[in-house]
Amino acid sequence: MVKKTTLFGLAGAAIIMFSCQKDNSQDNGSAVSAKEQENWLTANLDANFANSQKQVTAYLFSTDELSKLVETPNVENVQFVLGYSDNTVQIKVIGVDKAGKELASVDSKILKDPSYDAKLAKLENGLTSKTDKGSALLNEHLMLSQEAFDGIVAWQEKLKTVSGLNEVTSYEGARFQHYSLEAAVVVEMLKGKDTPNIGVFLGLNGIGKVTTILVELDKNNAIKSKLSLTGKTMDNPEDVYDGTRPSPPY
């Protein structure tokens, strides 16, 4: 398990600056233009990138907009497309058909919350075994919340070291361009009530490569709790999904 550290913290004058601002900021998303996608493929992932990227908590996708995307006729898969601007990874999601043709898209908003540690801790204290979802597809992509926590922390630690960033974001020298996932997984996540956003967190997977981790968030962008059969709020977080396929694959 990755050693727990304080995430998203800023020191010195930066702390003073944040004390005068709203703690939980959301940057307007971009359409991740073709130019930004091209920039990502050759971006220099140096200290400037690391300092900017480690301020990013998650990428927020509106569930209302995601619902329209997955309901678009012939959408079979969703792809989380990566771009690069302002020394930061940008992400949008597109819906594609079986041939990979884009049919719909949704932009993200970047969440920057320097005090997110307490909210993230809910993942660390989740169930220690997976729940059978009654679907081989969903079970394949379901991950333990503890595993998600470790992956997110590992990515933040990697950004602090400013080393090996090119290796974890690429395969055999080719940088990951997008991550694919069956639309049915997103449909399952959209079934929950009072879920205004799906948060896409970046994390390191079991082989040390960057991946996307999908988490249901409430109106305060905190990680949602499961509900019991009687509708009572539980301590455990809602199901977390990964298993996205990178392009190029490994």
Higher-pLDDT residue of 127, 91 = 91
Structure confidence by residue, pLDDT tens digits, 32-61: 899 999 999 999 999 999 999 999 999 999
User: Residue 146 burial by CB count (10 A; 0-12/13-18/19+): exposed, middle or buried?
Assistant: middle
What element of type H or E holds 217? strand 210-217
What element of type H or E holds 210? strand 210-217
193 confidence band (pLDDT: 50, 70, 90): confident
Q: Is 136 helix (H, G, I), strand (E, B) or coil?
A: helix
Q: Side-chain half-sphere of 72: how many Cα atoms within 13 Å?
A: 21
Structure confidence by residue, pLDDT tens digits, 123-135: 998 776 788 898 9
Q: Is pLDDT at 9 greater than 90 in this prediction?
A: no
Which residues lie below 8 Å from residue 30, measured CB to CB, with a gap of 6+? 36, 83, 85, 90, 92, 107
Instruction: Give the predicted TM-score (pTM) of the model.
Output: 0.86
The Cα-based distances of 93 to 79, 82, 83, 141, 144 in angstroms read: 5, 9, 11, 18, 23
Structure confidence by residue, pLDDT tens digits, 156-184: 999 999 999 999 999 999 999 999 999 99
CA-based nearest residue to 238, from 207, 204, 194:
194
* Separation of alpha carbons 98 and 91, rounded Å: 22
